[in-house]
């Protein structure tokens, strides 16, 4: 918005060449800020009417929105959706989901979160395909219902070593979120664990020292001959 | 499939575009009394792009326009860069919100309120687990502010702050509308300037009051116990968190911009204004909106009206224009009294109505109201009468533009 106001302002204040160049620059900057370009590929479209049954465990998976996937395969009672992307989202990724004795309707899916509604007391097993090279910690996960009630790890849900979440016996609309804030047991040396405060301290000392030196060097000196400040 | 423009391409292009733009403005601006203002305007826009669109630090590798989530914190890229020492980001003295979403810089005012309890280490909710001590985080905030202020003074307000740009845009709208600006009386302006420190004191005291349950074991204001698993959803700051942020006029703008570009979940705007008096919003409170409306209306009459009471500007000013910081501050506005004819044009042109540039006899005339925008320097028609110096070197000086 402000870019357009600048342009209007430029139109008023500057000459045409300047305006033209500013337009080009702003277009370039806008393009850069967008940062993403979409490429086409073969996908299968599905609608909220489509269902994905898991007969062996009496589970049904559906979606409350339309979307696309590259491939959907039932493997060991788990549906694996490759390059799954839901309508309204530009994220696509692989989701593994299994539902036992319940009907599930997936509402949203993104890199670190899945939201779905459950009908029937059953079990849901999901893997969001996190790009993690480690086993996540249960405190990195949240399972929340539509009333923003948090469910306890170990009691209401379990985290497996492959970052799969198993939720048992909860009904309603659930959101499963993973926050990757670098949670880890920090065994690094003290100076690495507290590097930012150390760097800040060093920056303060260096800045003050430099400022004092500059102050002394640029202080006006009284000339011996003329009696005036140089 | 979505693929992203690689950062190795974006960064050089961004810097090239920025450099070429700056060079062109310097070269092509014909009005000598507007050259610096035009340059400043361009730099402000570049700063907004960097701060909000994360051109420099992201959101590379992050999905955009994602569906609803539970928190806007899911773009906290600061955590990727800074680990859990400062996952909220490094403080940078511009009003750009705690959620300049997923960026590595954060509004220091938010941090001061959140980290005000230096000897008590608390979780921040949504599993932001700090590895740093409370005192350590506070030290990083104050230290960063001191360094930033000593080096560039309040120039952040004049050249980088997105809310400063917003006010400047409104000023330009006023000019285009051919409306005349008004000025506060000197005494009013002085009182406004002093009120900034009262505002800082008030919000810090309120932060303690709101967090009383966690400090004293009892609530002073009912409803300030945090929710969530183990009471950690919002940690010490509870629902009525960071009191200044509830009134900050930048917060709605930040939300709008971030939602507009897809770095923030729009549901955090759509959930606004619920709870008693609408003060407990999902992200924006009704007070935010009222203050913003007032600032917008006043900005169409007065220049840089918010900057006169901005607590962040006050802090930056505190660390650059008050003793002992003033003695060693690196960026200064200097006046040559012998070349000054006391015509008063500098005083009239100053957007924050700083008066030292006119009243003081010479030397360092930087004051806490001065945002180092250099408007006085570019408008002054006397050669070298006014200068902005950095580390003793002249960055820009007044020119005889009358010839």
3-class secondary structure, A114 = strand
Contact criterion met (CB < 8 Å) for A32 and B13 = yes
Contact criterion met (CB < 8 Å) for A142 and B391 = no
Do both A49 and A11 map to the same domain? no
- Evaluate whether residue A187 is within a structural domain: no
Q: How confident is the model at residue B402 (pLDDT cuts 50, 70, 90)?
A: confident
Do both A48 and A29 map to the same domain? no
- Evaluate whether residue A229 is within a structural domain: no
A1-45 residue pLDDT tens: 444 445 555 555 555 665 666 676 666 665 555 544 444 457 899
Do both A55 and A91 map to the same domain? yes
Do both A34 and A130 map to the same domain? no
Pick from B321, B386, B323, B312: which is nearest to B349 by CA?
B386
Measured in angstroms, the CA of B117 and the nearest CA of chain A are apart by: 17
The domain in which residue A79 lies consists of 43-178
Do both A71 and A156 map to the same domain? yes
- Evaluate whether residue A228 is within a structural domain: no
Do both A74 and A169 map to the same domain? yes
Measured in angstroms, the CA of B228 and the nearest CA of chain A are apart by: 6
B20-34 residue pLDDT tens: 888 888 887 778 888
The total of structural domains in chain A comes to: 2
Mutation site, B58, B100, B143, B250, interface A, largest A CB count within 10 A: B143
B82-117 residue pLDDT tens: 666 777 778 889 988 865 544 567 889 988 887 776
Query: What mean pLDDT comes out for the span A44-67?
Result: 91
Query: What mean pLDDT comes out for the span A202-212?
Result: 94
Lowest-confidence segment of A46-50, A135-139, B268-272 by average pLDDT? B268-272
A154-184 residue pLDDT tens: 778 888 988 899 999 888 889 888 866 554 5
State the complex-level ipTM.
Answer: 0.82
> Which residue in chain B is spatially nearest to A184 when comparing CA positions?
B84
- Evaluate whether residue A223 is within a structural domain: no
- Evaluate whether residue A227 is within a structural domain: no
Give the Å distances, CA to CA, from B251 to B65, B226, B245, B306: 20, 22, 7, 14
Do both A127 and A16 map to the same domain? no
Contact criterion met (CB < 8 Å) for A2 and B166 = yes
Do both A57 and A163 map to the same domain? yes
- Evaluate whether residue A214 is within a structural domain: yes
Pick from B383, B38, B313, B37: which is nearest to B155 by CA?
B313
Do both A130 and A90 map to the same domain? yes
Task: Calculate the average pLDDT of chain B.
Answer: 79
- Evaluate whether residue A151 is within a structural domain: yes
- Evaluate whether residue A147 is within a structural domain: yes
- pLDDT value at position B310? 95
Global confidence as pTM: 0.71
Do both A7 and A104 map to the same domain? no
- pLDDT value at position B125? 47
Do both A36 and A20 map to the same domain? yes
What percent of chain B stands above pLDDT 70?
A: 73
Three-state secondary structure of B143-198: HHHHHHHHHHCCHHHHHCCHHHHHHHHHHHHHHHCCCCCCCCCHHHHHHHHHHHHH
Query: What mean pLDDT comes out for the span B49-73?
Result: 51
Q: How confident is the model at residue B77 (pLDDT cuts 50, 70, 90)?
A: low
Contact criterion met (CB < 8 Å) for B70 and A144 = yes
Do both A98 and A168 map to the same domain? yes
Pairing of strands A172-178, A113-119: antiparallel
């Amino acid at each position: 918005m402000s870019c357009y106001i600048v342009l209007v302002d430029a139109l008023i204040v500057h000459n045409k060449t300047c305006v033209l160049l500013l337009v080009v620059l702003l277009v370039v900057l806008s393009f850069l800020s967008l940062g993403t370009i979409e490429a086409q590929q073969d996908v299968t479209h599905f609608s909220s009417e489509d269902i994905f049954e898991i007969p062996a465990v009496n589970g049904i998976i559906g979606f409350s929105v339309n979307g696309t996937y590259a491939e959907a395969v039932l493997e060991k009672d788990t549906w694996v959706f490759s390059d799954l992307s839901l309508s309204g989202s530009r994220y696509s990724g692989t989701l593994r989901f299994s539902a036992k004795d319940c009907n599930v309707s997936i509402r949203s899916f993104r890199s670190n979160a899945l939201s779905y509604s459950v009908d029937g007391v059953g079990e849901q097993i999901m893997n969001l395909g996190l790009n993690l090279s480690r086993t996540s910690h249960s405190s990195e996960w949240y399972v929340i219902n539509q009333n923003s009630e948090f469910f306890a790890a170990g009691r209401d849900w379990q985290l497996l070593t492959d970052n799969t979440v198993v939720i048992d016996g909860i009904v309603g609309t659930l959101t499963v979120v993973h926050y990757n804030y670098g949670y880890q047991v920090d065994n690094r040396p003290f100076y690495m664990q507290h590097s930012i405060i150390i760097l800040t301290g060093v920056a303060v000392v260096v800045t003050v020292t430099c400022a004092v030196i500059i102050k002394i060097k640029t202080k006006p000196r009284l000339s011996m001959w003329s009696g005036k400040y140089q | 499939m979505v693929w992203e423009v690689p950062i190795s391409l974006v960064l050089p292009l961004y810097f090239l575009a920025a450099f070429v733009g700056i060079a062109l403005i310097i070269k092509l601006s014909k009005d000598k009394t507007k050259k610096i203002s035009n340059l400043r305007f361009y730099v402000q826009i570049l700063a907004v792009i960097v701060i909000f669109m994360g051109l420099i630090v992201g959101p590379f590798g992050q999905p955009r326009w994602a569906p609803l989530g539970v928190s806007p914190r899911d773009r906290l890229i600061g955590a990727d860069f800074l680990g859990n020492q400062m996952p909220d980001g490094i403080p940078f003295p511009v009003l750009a919100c705690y959620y300049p979403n997923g960026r590595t810089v954060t509004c220091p005012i938010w941090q001061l309120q959140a980290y005000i309890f230096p000897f008590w280490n608390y979780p921040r909710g949504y599993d932001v687990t700090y590895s740093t001590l409370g005192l350590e985080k506070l030290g990083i905030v104050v230290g960063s502010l001191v360094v930033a202020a000593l080096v560039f003074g309040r120039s952040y307000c004049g050249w980088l702050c997105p809310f400063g740009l917003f006010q400047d845009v409104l000023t330009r709208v006023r000019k285009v509308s051919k409306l005349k600006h008004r000025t506060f009386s000197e005494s009013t302006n002085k009182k406004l300037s002093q009120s900034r420190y009262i505002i800082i004191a008030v919000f810090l005291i309120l932060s303690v009051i709101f967090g009383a349950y966690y400090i004293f074991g009892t609530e002073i204001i009912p409803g300030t116990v945090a929710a969530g698993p183990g009471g950690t959803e919002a940690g010490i700051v509870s629902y009525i968190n960071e009191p200044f942020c509830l009134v900050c006029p930048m917060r709605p703008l930040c939300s709008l911009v971030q939602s507009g570009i897809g770095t923030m979940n729009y549901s955090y705007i759509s959930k606004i204004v619920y709870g008693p008096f609408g003060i407990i919003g999902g992200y924006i409170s009704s007070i935010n909106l009222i203050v913003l409306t007032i600032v917008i209306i006043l900005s169409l009459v007065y220049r840089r009206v918010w900057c006169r009471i901005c607590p962040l500007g006050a802090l930056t000013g505190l660390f650059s224009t008050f003793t002992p910081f003033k003695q060693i501050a690196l960026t200064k506005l200097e006046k040559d009294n012998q070349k000054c004819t006391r015509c008063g044009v500098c005083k009239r042109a100053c957007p924050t109505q700083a008066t030292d540039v006119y009243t003081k006899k010479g030397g360092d005339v930087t004051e806490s109201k001065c945002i180092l925008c250099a408007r006085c320097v570019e408008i002054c028609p006397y050669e070298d009468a006014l200068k902005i110096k950095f580390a003793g070197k002249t960055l820009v000086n007044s020119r005889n533009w009358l010839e």
